[in-house]
Structure 1
Amino acid sequence: MDKKKILITGASGFIGSTITEMALQLGYETWAGIRSGSSLQYLRDEQLHLINLHYDDPAILTEQLRKAVHQKRPFDAVIHVAGLTKAPHKEEFDRVNHRYTRHLAEALRAAEALSGTFVLLSSLSVMGPGDETGYTPFNAESVPHPNTAYGRSKLQAEQYLMNQQLFPWLIIRPTGVYGPRDRDYLILMKAVKKGLSVGAGLRKQLLTFIHSHDLAMVVFSLLEKGISGKSYIVADGDSYTDNAFNAILQEVLGRRRVVQLKIPLWLVKPAAFVSEKVATLLGKTATFNSDKYLIMKQRNWSCDITPLKNDIGFIPRWRLKEGIEMTAEWYKKEGWL
């Protein structure tokens, strides 16, 4: 019996490489979608089929996918992870996160290259600001109203898929993803290790997290159940104040005391604006920009994951403290921390 065949885009990145690795472990015939210049550091398994996808040219993309499904063996699933989280110009988010998703879906249909479900890795950012009075969690009934260019581009990709006929789709909206290979939370860990914790805003903030391995397992559990036509918020089910999160980092990293700086939002906003403008003038991408300010400003990222529990019996393997410990050990082993 032939193995199930899967295409994972963005396979060279933090989340994409984690999902690709799990696909191999689960016995899939795994195709790793990359771009020219992508690092192959985590894609060295000899069983992998690498494919350099040309998202900006639908005709070439269609032909690439047609060749990939030779002998009439289409993909049983496609997991579309590729996307931008940072960009020098906001128009780039629409081009990569929205239009490239359309190009890929249309090319898969034209090439008759997909027999199963198209999984879009979206983001909790599509939900926009939450309830910052009673701190009601985001849930399956929450209506998306993104306030960032990144969130809007992801929602546009979602809406495109939801409007397709005879094209099974599945939308994954993860909260903050951490784990081995991630560099965003690494920045926070490095700061705490040096004795510094910096936060934005003076009011309580509720944060949520999902370990990259748990996120990957959720995706494959949903696929194996044959679920489509639904969107899921993915988190580990717990919420933490920003102070509680910092306390976990301190404990894991062995820092009994740190200098805690809480910067008022009225100072953060102009700093983000200046950072963005300077980076644009230098032709660089600003990590700290107006979108980032809106994310830092948001006080409530709590989530209700009842649908995941009901549909696949989801129980996270990694709670936050244990997951941070595991991640910190990996960072140390790799010389990152």
Structure 2
Amino acid sequence: MSIKVTGSSGFVGQNLLAYLKATDIAAINRKQLQRVTPEHLNGAYVIVHLAGKAHDLKKTSCTDEYYQVNYELTKKLYDAFLESDAKKFIFISSVKAVADSVVGILTEDAVPNPQTAYGKSKLMAEEYIQAQKLPEDKSYYILRPCMIHGPGNKGNLNLLYNVVQKGIPYPLAAFENKRSFLSVENLCFVIKQLINNPIASGVFHVADDESLSTNKVVELLANASSKKAKLLKIPVKIVRTMAKLGDLFRLPLNSERLQKLTESYQVSNKKVVDAMKVPLPLSAIDGLTNTKMK
């Protein structure tokens, strides 16, 4: 079975290629993607579209770049897919295409209302895919992962891991939250299931089974490193003031990063698990415990 993957050099891409190592896989780089034609995709059974412009916490990216990469390139690739002989198209979107904040548990029934250029550009790509007439012998899958972690991760969980490794007390323990995470191994498992099984087209949220507080995550990362978790409960008002200073002086802790680390953001994975008819291989706790961040 031949698979073509965009974004293969990224965090998810590298893990996916390692996970599917026994499969015939070819990478489509950014230059090839910009001029992709149906002929470039012929002979492949599945197209996995991972390439995209990630959310920029430093706010240095041009807004138009999100739309050019996340929407226009996806549109170009999907058009080529529809005219090629490839059968399945898997697009990695984001829960941020639906909501930047969540009350309760986020499901696929929620009406999308993204607030950032990143989320809006991802949603535009989703809506384009769903609006096109789909031949009977083809399928599409739009995956909306929540915060992903695993080997090579460079996001907020890596920041937490570095804090734990250096023995620095975690200063946000006064915040109480519950949020969903996603082991990259679980994401790769879902992608493999979609590739290998006759699952109906659709939009699927992807998350580990359990939601965890950030304090619990710090404890898990500490235990995995044979260290004692140090939880410091600085008053919430003081922390928010510090984050605002981070906005002004571009410090590691800014308002957006504070929100990501302390907000409640729970995501249901019921739809995708029901569609696969098999459980995810890793629990949230096992995934975080087994993660060795770099």
Shift of 1:177: 1.0
2:47 corresponding residue in structure 1: 78
Distance 1:316 1:108, change over 3 A: closer
Is residue 254 of structure 2 the alignment partner of residue 318 of structure 1?
no
Q: What pairs up with 1:64-213 in 2 under 5 angstroms?
A: 66=39, 68-69=40-41, 73-85=42-54, 86=56, 88-109=61-82, 112-132=83-103, 136-166=104-134, 168-184=139-155, 185-198=157-170, 203-213=175-185
What fraction of aligned residue pairs are identical, expressed as a percent?
22
Normalization by structure 2: what TM-score? 0.84
Q: Does 1:22 align with 2:1?
A: no
Alpha-carbon separation, structure 1, partners of 2:27 and 2:129: 22
In 1, are the aligned partners of 2:93 and 2:144 still within 8 Å (CA)? yes
CA contact (8 A) 1:173 1:234 kept: yes
- CA deviation digits over 1:191-250, x for unaligned, max 9? 111122546695422121121111011012123222243111111110111111111112
For residue 34 of structure 1, what is the aligned residue in structure 2?
A: 29
Aligned length, in residue pairs:
283
Unaligned 5+ segments in structure 1 are 36-51, 277-286
Out of 291, 302, 310, which is 2:266 matched to? 302
The match for 2:10 is: 13
Q: Deviations over 1:40-94 (max 9, x none)?
A: xxxxxxxxxxxx5242xxxx322xx52x45xxx4321111000121362232212
How many Å separate the matches in 2 of 1:105 and 1:201? 44
What pairs up with 1:47-66 in 2 under 5 angstroms?
Answer: 52-55=31-34, 60-62=35-37, 66=39
CA distance in 2, matches of 1:94, 1:294: 24
SS state at 2:86 partner? strand
Higher relative contact order (CA 8 A, sep 6+): 2
Change (3 A) 1:143 1:295: farther
Q: Distance in 1 between matches of 2:27 and 2:199?
A: 23
The alignment status of 1:233 with 2:191, answered yes or no, reads no
1:268 aligned residue? 243
Answer whether contact 1:196 1:259 (CA < 8 A) is retained: no
Alpha-carbon distance in structure 2 between the residues aligned to 1:188 and 1:116 = 41
Equivalent-residue separation in structure 2 for 1:139 and 1:246 (angstroms) = 27
Contact residue 199 and residue 276 of structure 2 kept, 8 A: no
Change (3 A) 1:325 1:213: same
* CA deviation map 1:271-310 (0-9, x unaligned): 235429xxxxxxxxxx87776565456x221122221222
1:260 aligned counterpart, secondary structure: coil
Contact 1:200 / 1:268 at 8 angstroms: preserved in 2? no
Q: Quick one: structure 1 residues 188 and 131, their matched pair in 2 at CA, closer, same or farther if it must change by over 3 Å? A: closer
Q: 1:247 to 1:225 in 2, by over 3 A?
A: same
Q: Give unpaired runs (5+ residues) of structure 2.
A: none
Structure 1 length normalisation: TM-score?
0.75
Is the Cα contact below 8 Å between 1:130 and 1:137 reproduced in 2?
no
Q: Deviations over 1:170-205 (max 9, x none)?
A: 100111111112222333211111122546695422
* Deviations, residues 3-57 of structure 1 (Å, cap 9, x unaligned): x2211110011101222233332x3x2111224xxxxxxxxxxxxxxxx5242xx
Contact in 1 for aligned 2:163/2:169 (Cα 8 Å): yes
